[in-house]
Amino acid sequence: MISRFTGCLLIVIFSLCICSPSISGQNKGLHIMKIDGESLVLPEQNPANLCFGNLVPTSIIVRSTYLADQKDTIVYKQGRDYTVNYVLGTISRTRISRIPDFSKNPAYGKKDFDHNKIPGIGNHQYFVWVDYETLDGQPFAAKNDQSALLKKTLSKLKSGEPLKIVVYGDSISTGCEASTESLRFPNRYAAYLSSRFPKAKIALENGATGGDTSEQGVSRLEEKVLSRNPDLVLLGFGMNDHNVPPSGVKIPKFQENLAVMVKSIMERTGAEVIILSAFPPNPDWKFGSHRMGDYAEATKQTAHELNCAYADVYDTWTKVLKRKDLPSLLGNNINHPNDFGHWLYLQALEAVGL
C-alpha cells in the first residue's frame, strides 16, 4: 500500500489445517470463549482494551510473539511486566516492564502525520500477544451465509475436484505484514476450507500487487487472473482507492472498476467471486480520505448488484474497534493488518458460509 511491488505467484496444495485461535468452550455450565494471540500496543502505563472484558483470571498469557512456540518468545510476567483489570478486560504496562513502550513510536500522538517524514513508525516491535478466556465473548463476524452464490465452489470442495483459488488485490491481499506465509489471510482461508472439507484439493495462487488501486486492478486483470483459470477469486480492493487525490479513486469509478473485474472474471473464466471490503486505516494518517465506510458500502452494493458473494471485513473490524485502538492491529501503523488482523479477515471470510 505504501510501497509498490509485484507479488510473486504462489501455488500451494493444502492438506493440513493451520491452527487458528479457538473461540468457544464450556466450563461448569458457563460459556467461555478462548482467544489466542490478540495483539495490543501499550503506551506508558495506560490501559489498553482487549476485545472483551469479564476475563477468566487464570487464563491470561502475554508474550512477545504471535506464535507461542517461537524460539525467541518472551512470556511476560503479571505484576512485574503488566497488570490486568479482569472485569474491564484491560492490560497495562508497569513502570519496570520489559514490554516495549508504544509511546516511543515516532508517530505516537501525532495528528495528520506523513509517514515519508517520520521513519520507523511501524508497530511490530511494540506488539504484545495475549491469550485469554472471557465470559463476554461474541462472534467477531456476523453470520453472512452466501453459499447459494458459491455453488460450484461448494460442489468442488465436497467432491474433491481440484479447486484453484486466485487472490487479487493490493498489498493486504499479498499478505503484507503477516509474520509467516501461513498466517496471511488467503492462506488461512485455504487451510480453513481444507479442514472443513477433507476431500478438498485446493491450489492457491496470489496475483495481488502492493500499491494497486482498482484502476491497476483492471489493467492487470488479464495477466493476474483471467489467464490463470481460477475457480474462485478473492477480490480485495479499496484501501488505496480510499486515499486522497491524486492517488485515490473516487467511489463511482471505484464501483465501475469492481464491476468490470467481476463481470470479466465470471464471463471469461466461469469462476465465482468473493469481494472483500477493507477496514478503516489509521485516522491520523495524512493521506487517507477517511471515508472507508462509504467505500465498504459501495463494495457491498456492487457485490449485490452483480450477484456475487461479499465478505464484510469492514463490519468485522469496526465491531472490534468499538473497544480496541487501531494501532494494536496495524503492522505498519497505517493500513496493513498484523497477524491478528489477518485472522480477523479470516473471520469475515468464514462468515460467508462455505
pLDDT in tens, the chain (354 residues): 443 333 333 333 333 333 344 444 444 456 899 999 999 999 999 999 999 999 999 999 999 999 999 999 999 999 999 999 999 999 999 999 999 999 999 999 999 999 999 999 999 999 999 999 999 999 999 999 999 999 999 999 999 999 999 999 999 999 999 999 999 999 999 999 999 999 999 999 999 999 999 999 999 999 999 999 999 999 999 999 999 999 999 999 999 999 999 999 999 999 999 999 999 999 999 999 999 999 999 999 999 999 999 999 999 999 999 999 999 999 999 999 999 999 999 999 999 999
**Count of CB atoms situated within 10 Å of the CB of 169:** 29
* C-alpha to C-alpha distance for 340 and 38, rounded to whole angstroms: 6
Residue 20, classed as helix, strand or coil, is: coil
Residue type, 18: I
Measured between alpha carbons, how far is residue 298 from residues 147, 149, 152, 308 in Å?
21, 19, 26, 14
255, amino acid identity: Q
**Residue 7 neighbours by CB under 8 Å, 6+ apart:** 173, 174, 206, 207, 208, 209, 210
CATH H-level superfamily of 5-20+139-350: SGNH hydrolase (3.40.50.1110)
Name the region of 248 (left: φ>0; alpha: ψ -120 to 50; beta: rest). beta
Encoded amino acid at 308, one letter: C
Number of alpha carbons in the 13 Å side-chain half-sphere of residue 49: 11
**Spans of all domains in the chain:** 5-20+139-350, 26-134
Q: Are 236 and 169 in contact (CB under 8 A)?
A: yes
CA distances for 42 relative to 70, 227, 263, 283, 350, angstroms: 22, 46, 45, 19, 30
Phi (first) and psi of residue 23, to 5 degrees = -125, 20
At residue 9, the pLDDT reads 35
- The values of phi and psi at residue 148, to 5°, are -65, -20
Helix residue spans in 160-213 (DSSP H): 171-174, 185-196
pTM of the model: 0.92
Residue 44, Ramachandran bin (φ over 0: left; ψ between -120 and 50: alpha; else beta):
left
Look at the chain and count its residues. 354
pLDDT attached to residue 29: 52
CA angle 91, 48, 351 (to 5 degrees): 105
H helices then E strands: how many in the chain?
8, 16
